[in-house]
Amino acid sequence: MNDLKPYSYLYKNTAEPAKLRLCFVVKVPAGKSLTGPTINTASSVITVTYAVVSDANQPRDRQEEYENELNWNGNACNVKVVVGDGSGSGGGTIAIASQDAEED
C-alpha cells in the first residue's frame, strides 16, 4: 500500500432518502495526519477531500480507516476521494462510479 493513496469501497442505499456510504483506508506516514473532510456535491462528481498536515505526535506509519455518509439524489455519479495534493508522495486520488457501488 502506497503512502496517502486511498483504497475505497462505495455502498449505496437507494431507498428514500438515497445515501452513499464511502469507506476507505489509507497508509499515513509517520509525522503526518489527515484532517477534514471537505465534501463538494456541486456537480455530477461528489468530491471528498482530506488535507495532509504535519503531526509530531504521530511517531510511526499506520493504516487509518475513514467512513463518510453522503447525501445522494439517486442519479448516476462518480465519487472521488482526494488525499493531500492528490498525486505523488503528497497524496493520492481514487474515483468510484455510483453504479458500481454495492447495495448497503
pLDDT in tens, 32-59: 999 999 999 888 899 999 999 999 999 9
Q: In the prediction, which pLDDT does 2 show?
A: 84
User: What's the chain's average pLDDT?
Assistant: 94
Contact 24, 14 (CB under 8 A): no
% of residues, the chain, pLDDT over 70: 99
Contact 66, 45 (CB under 8 A): no
Q: Is the dihedral of CA 97, 44, 83, 65 positive or negative?
A: negative
Cα 36 to chain centroid, rounded? 10
Give the model's confidence band at 87: pLDDT under 50 very low, under 70 low, under 90 confident, else very high.
confident
pLDDT in tens, 1-16: 689 999 999 999 999 8
Nearest to 33 by CA among 56, 9, 8, 6: 56
Task: Provide the H-helix boundaries in the chain.
Answer: none
